[in-house]
Structure 1
Amino acid sequence: MDNRPIGVFDSGLGGLTSVKELMRRLPQESIVYFGDTGRVPYGTRSDETITKYVFQDIRFLLNFDIKLIIIACGTASSVALEKVQQAFNIPIIGVVYPAASQAVNISTTGKIGIIGTPGTINSGSYIRIIKELAPDAKTFSKACPLFVPLVENGYTMNEVARLVAQEYLGPLKDKCVDTLIMGCTHYPLLKNTIEGIMGKEVRLIDPGAETAKYVKQLLIDKNMLGQSGIVPTYKYFVSDCIENFSRLGSLFLEKEITQSVEKIDIEKY
């Protein structure tokens, strides 16, 4: 047993979709969440800048005696995961492998679509893992840079979101993909809009949900689960304005954030 908390970070609020799934699947686990709201989005930054940010985010979380860290950001997972896994002596999990693995498992035609930030798509990380797992799979990817700001501003189910989604997703629908990886933890908030464009027959992969399942099994295998019956604690930190975090964060978690949210200076790390 290991009652130390799990650390989770993202470029903004999207990683809370991962936290929601962790809370559901691992209700005994304490969580420390950092949202780098002052530097969102990561997806349009250079690889060098993203890697710098990820190292700072991890160094901040390590102040809390974390037992495991989840990079709940598709871009950061794609660009910097291997670097930080080599640099830190702690399990660090990204969202790419769990989502790609599940897509391969459930696709019946082998036609898999991938949407994500420009950084995630340009890295080719999802395609690389899918091809390793299923060499005959056909992948089709599309960068969707406007999805993150839409979600961060609460525009998930209105006409603006629908028109943007239609523009982005049309080419993937034309390719007749049967599975679509929502390759950014913000995107599940657009699930209804995405499903409305792609059709209900297309299976949508939520990276946060798949990563939570993966982490649960990892903790079981390593005998690192928190003690059953312990009341977990949740701590939230951001790098910019905290006023909207509780309001928008509650939408991501689908439950009220009752804990105080603290702003920190991430550049110190």
Structure 2
Amino acid sequence: MSNEQAIGFMDSGVGGLTVVKQALKQLPRERVIFIGDQARLPYGPRPSAQVRDFSWQMATFLMSQDIKMLVIACNTATAAALPDLRAKLDIPVIGVISPGSRAAIKASKNHRIGVIATEGTIRSGAYRNAILAKDPSATVVSQACPKFVPLVESNEYRSPVAKRVVAEGLQSFKNSGIDTLVLGCTHYPLLRPLIQNVIGPDVTLIDSGAETVNGVSFMLDYLDIATTSSKKPQADRYYTTGSADQFATIAQDWLKQPAFKATQIELGGDLV
């Protein structure tokens, strides 16, 4: 393994760019190769065995690009596939759930923590288990928000519709007493201002993706595989199984890269 190899990031769609954005900021010399499986999203409602298969296809593609570390920049895929990918791959594999859970425990004063995520992530109990394993005295209030991902993927995350959908999705947290809320899907930080507005200024929002990059940075140093070049050895690369134009529209805005380009690829199998 060479230090100049890229870090691979994978997600069900554009949400993983919220993790990449943090990586570009915190690790500007590291090269990024990203794949978003937009053709088959959302992952949230799918059975976990299917999410595992799709995750394996994405990981295999990234491995063919000669990466030195894999970041599962998707909570649903982390919940379904992290142990499987760690067992099969001989490079470090980092998920987003553990870092998000740790940060939530650290931030919470009253041990009442909310989690919003896809149906798959909530169904898996991954956040609840991770939080309670570290803080058995915590109360975890979980809520699936299935309408949030389509809002982001259709580029409507700043629209009046988004405002209404977010308000409805967070209804169950009224009077819950939480002081911390985990954004347990990497799409959700794009809705952050709306979520903060509804949930109130006294609740700390935890961006699992941003926390994950702290872990990536630590692992690069710990394993001594951080790039040694003074600048990126090659350009970052972005792939999607969906529309490259649609992907680029959101990415240009979110990453503040007007010249952003994405390449469409096929991963095969089950677009239903």
Normalised TM-score (structure 1): 0.96
Partner of 1:236: helix, strand, or coil?
strand
For 1:158-200, what per-residue CA distance to the aligned partner results, in whole angstroms no more than 9, with x for missing partners? 3211221111212113201100000000000000000010111
Match of 1:129 in 2: 130
Match of 1:100 in 2: 101
In structure 2, relative to structure 1, the CA distance for the partners of 1:88 and 1:23 (3 Å cut) is: same
Are the equivalent residues in 2 in contact too, given 1:234–1:259 (CA < 8 A)? no
Are the equivalent residues in 2 in contact too, given 1:181–1:204 (CA < 8 A)? yes
Q: CA deviation at 1:229?
A: 1.1
Are the equivalent residues in 2 in contact too, given 1:235–1:259 (CA < 8 A)? no
Report the Cα distance in structure 2 between the residues aligned to 1:30 and 1:227, rounded to whole angstroms: 12
Which aligned pairs between 1:1-269 and structure 2 lie closer than 5 A? 2-232=3-233, 233-253=235-255, 255-256=256-257, 258-267=259-268
The letter of the residue matching 1:121 is I
In structure 2, relative to structure 1, the CA distance for the partners of 1:65 and 1:113 (3 Å cut) is: same
Q: Provide the aligned length of Structure 1 versus Structure 2.
A: 267
Report the Cα distance in structure 2 between the residues aligned to 1:176 and 1:156, rounded to whole angstroms: 27
Are the equivalent residues in 2 in contact too, given 1:165–1:197 (CA < 8 A)? yes
For 1:81-103, what per-residue CA distance to the aligned partner results, in whole angstroms no more than 9, with x for missing partners? 11111111111111000000000
Runs of 4 or more, structure 1, over 4 Å off, are none
Q: CA deviation at 1:258?
A: 2.4
Q: CA deviation at 1:46?
A: 0.6
Are the equivalent residues in 1 in contact too, given 2:51–2:77 (CA < 8 A)? yes
User: Could you list the runs of 5+ residues in structure 1 that have no partner in the other structure?
Assistant: none
User: Could you list the runs of 5+ residues in structure 2 that have no partner in the other structure?
Assistant: none
For 1:233-253, what per-residue CA distance to the aligned partner results, in whole angstroms no more than 9, with x for missing partners? 210111122121211112332
Percent identical pairs in the alignment equals 38
For 1:208-264, what per-residue CA distance to the aligned partner results, in whole angstroms no more than 9, with x for missing partners? 1000111101111111111141235210111122121211112332x1152532111
Q: CA deviation at 1:62?
A: 0.4
Are the equivalent residues in 2 in contact too, given 1:14–1:252 (CA < 8 A)? no
Report the Cα distance in structure 2 between the residues aligned to 1:213 and 1:34, rounded to whole angstroms: 21
Report the Cα distance in structure 2 between the residues aligned to 1:154 and 1:240, rounded to whole angstroms: 14
Report the Cα distance in structure 2 between the residues aligned to 1:187 and 1:235, rounded to whole angstroms: 23
The letter of the residue matching 1:136 is S
Normalised TM-score (structure 2): 0.95
Answer with 124-133 or 242-251: which moved more: 242-251
Q: CA deviation at 1:79?
A: 1.0
Answer with 227-236 or 116-125: which moved more: 227-236
